[in-house]
A and B are shown apart, each in its own frame.
Chain A
């Protein structure tokens, strides 16, 4: 076979690896955000006053330099941009992977994949749907299964007292745990931080740690609401 041509003038910013870098960086933004968000959520253990005051504080922070809700909007814009980029990169790479193997194997046997790595795409899609639901629920208050009180604390408790709402959130946290488990490791690998065996072990440990801490931390609220500890 005579040889086909070799591409000239590569543009690395358009490469698959650049897309992966984009996903890694935006993923780290999300990790930072969910940690902060979780800190706020856990205020629920301090009772209604503590929780609602925190929610209000988020809106007044930075005043008068920033308008009311200013920081919140900055965060929302950053998150939205990150989300769009993360999802865009994910679906582009997903489509690419599909095209890279159009004829499937009759028999496949995975030997090294963790369950979390195998569920990144569908799990991520589920998380995307959950985020939409979550915003409609608590932010935009379009869906209000637990009543539409002006107190964020009452909305929170009211919602989680309904078993299926709590179930949706708990399932979503399970999905998040999986996503974080592989995502953290994958981001470290994509950023080129895992060049030694110990770095690889640490990146994996960080994945497990973040998964347990974040998903676990969030899950405490619905669990404790259902159990009647928070009311």
Chain B
């Protein structure tokens, strides 16, 4: 198939940037979206134009590197990561607009690459259970109810790609935040730090400049791992409890 691509090009963080139009031909529908961009880049390299920079790594939907806004949807029209999106989801002759995640907390580094280190700092603020190496008790000494463990796992599948932020009209990272709060809060090991964790992580979230949640649900629709909206409810509940406990 042949496609028209409108791609955001921006040389560096201070450059103004803009959309640039490219044509690609002979795209196979078995190609992944990123392989389609590979072929564009190969083409650009030949004609002496600098290839388009975009983040990607595992290309199997788990590392969370790839992050493209495709025709106004985070990771494009399917519920999956950009790397797992295939060209059979598009049609011949289509125009595809490709933009980076837009959030002031995720500044553009170059072209389609953004800086998502804000997520690391939210984790640093408390997204962990403090257990120094060697201090752990025998694993089966603390049973975890299966239902809670299953819920913990389901939300722990978050890959930190930032699609929730990209899709949120408020630029909020509540889904990311809620997923980690729920994961650790559902496990017996996560209880001692439960209040301080949510208080610190929410404060860091706000300090990074993410917006507040308006419970619209664009995040969960864009989430390639289908993290449900109830993690945000859990987050709110945990914060409310933390406030009651004096945090």
Residue ranges of A at the interface with B (Cβ–Cβ < 8 Å): 1, 3-4, 6-7, 10-13, 15-21, 93, 96-97, 99-114, 117-118, 120, 182, 185-186, 188-197, 199-200
Q: Are A185 and B215 in contact (CB under 8 A)?
A: yes
Bound complex: CA A191 to CA B232 (Å): 10
Query: Could you say which of A1, A17, A106 contacts B212, with CB atoms under 8 Å apart?
Result: A17
Bound complex: CA A190 to CA B212 (Å): 11
Among all A-B residue pairs, the 4 with the closest Cβ atoms? A192-B237, A10-B203, A100-B171, A109-B72
Q: Are A190 and B202 in contact (CB under 8 A)?
A: no
Q: Are B206 and A101 in contact (CB under 8 A)?
A: no
Is B88's CB within 8 Å of the partner chain A?
A: no
Q: Are A97 and B169 in contact (CB under 8 A)?
A: yes
Is B209's CB within 8 Å of the partner chain A?
A: yes
Q: Are B104 and A99 in contact (CB under 8 A)?
A: yes
Additional A-B contacts beyond A101-B104, A111-B73 (14; CB < 8 A): A6-B125, A12-B247, A19-B212, A93-B170, A100-B103, A101-B103, A106-B99, A113-B217, A117-B214, A118-B216, A194-B229, A194-B233, A197-B230, A199-B233
A-B interface pairs (CB < 8 A), number: 180
Is B238's CB within 8 Å of the partner chain A?
A: yes
Measured between C-beta atoms, what is the minimum distance from B205 to chain A in Å?
A: 8
Query: Could you say which of A11, A195, A199 contacts B203, with CB atoms under 8 Å apart?
Result: A11
Q: Are B102 and A1 in contact (CB under 8 A)?
A: no
Contact with A along B122-140 (1 / 0, CB 8 A): 0011000000000000000
Most central of A11, A93, A103 by chain B CB within 10 Å: A103
Residues of chain B at interface, number, CB under 8 A: 60
Is B56's CB within 8 Å of the partner chain A?
A: no
Q: Are B202 and A10 in contact (CB under 8 A)?
A: yes
With A6-B124, A16-B212, A191-B240 as given contacts, are A196 and B230 in contact (CB-CB < 8 Å)?
Answer: yes
Interface window among B26-34, B35-43, B113-121: B113-121
Bound complex: CA A195 to CA B239 (Å): 14
9 chain-A/chain-B pairs, Cβ below 8 angstroms: A4-B121, A21-B243, A97-B169, A100-B171, A105-B72, A106-B19, A118-B169, A192-B235, A192-B240
